[in-house]
Structure 1
């Protein structure tokens, strides 16, 4: 899937665009609006970016997991090279320590990411501070022509680039979860 970014200063137009995209078959879970004016976005009934997505939790957590894997491998390697596992306790303490180090590193990385804005949106920080809004849509290749056709009817939108999107399975999971919640 690909992510298409657009910049606008008009939330009414973005609301119209979102309604047109949803009417043509692009699900709400594929559409997001990022703005420094969260109350205005909510007032226009736009699908805003979740607070978790605004922070760099996932990216920093991945970095933490890589550090944790390196530390875990180091513990296991040192235990093996020094023969420390040749005791009655065996490998259990070293495997446990490796798992604890991995978990702690992921946790710390995520906490660090909680303090930083999402690195994927960093390039739009100045635009958002100017009071403009970032509208982005995750589409699969079959939906690209449809998106281009609908966006062409909105000349005030400024194309801000493309990027990697959320995985298709994650969007499908969100969609099915929201459908299940509507049934309840």
Structure 2
């Protein structure tokens, strides 16, 4: 099951901190809540806010996966060509061809990750203008039964502006983070 992600913008980190505390008090766990800002120093002065990790601000994971898909295609093509042209029956054994396929897959994955570290996360890129204006983006991943909680608490924060919704983190990932305490405030 995938959670539903709701985005909000605000210029006040104090208001966002209160909002996060109220959500957590109502049963929404810390791994479901994130704050994105260009000024990490100011966010770190609000110890209760769960900031987006710098690694996730970039598109490393997404581009690495794309690189791995391309690399898999290239490696498969190489193996099919070797099989089709009967290169292995000649003087060449399978070992160098399989090794070259693994190198191609690894290089493609690395190249995708290298490209991704230089670009903004594709899901967060739409907020670049808002962030440049000094605003902060707050997003929360909700289970279906938690949406009413959000709506109730949202009424207490008229300065928060809705910025859209989309599919959020997978449920298993949030559960894993909850279970093992992988999210900690700095």
Q: TM-score, structure 1 length as denominator?
A: 0.93
Map of 1:165-180 to 2, 5 A cutoff? 165-178=168-181
With over 3 angstroms needed to count, the CA separation of the structure-2 counterparts of 1:70 and 1:125, relative to structure 1, is same
Map of 1:1-184 to 2, 5 A cutoff? 1-45=3-47, 46-87=49-90, 90-178=93-181
Structure 2 unaligned spans of 5+? none
1:86-128 C-alpha deviation (Å, 9 max, x unpaired): 2576422222221221111111100110011111111110000
Structure 1 unaligned spans of 5+? none
Q: C-alpha separation between the residues in 2 aligned to 1:127 and 1:180?
A: 26
The size of the alignment, in residue pairs, is 181
Q: C-alpha separation between the residues in 1 aligned to 2:124 and 2:162?
A: 15
Secondary structure (helix, strand or coil) at the match of 1:165 reads strand
Q: C-alpha separation between the residues in 2 aligned to 1:168 and 1:155?
A: 29
Q: TM-score, structure 2 length as denominator?
A: 0.92
CA RMSD of aligned residues (A): 1.7
1:33-77 C-alpha deviation (Å, 9 max, x unpaired): 000111111111210000111001011112101210111111111
Secondary structure (helix, strand or coil) at the match of 1:136 reads strand
With over 3 angstroms needed to count, the CA separation of the structure-2 counterparts of 1:30 and 1:174, relative to structure 1, is same
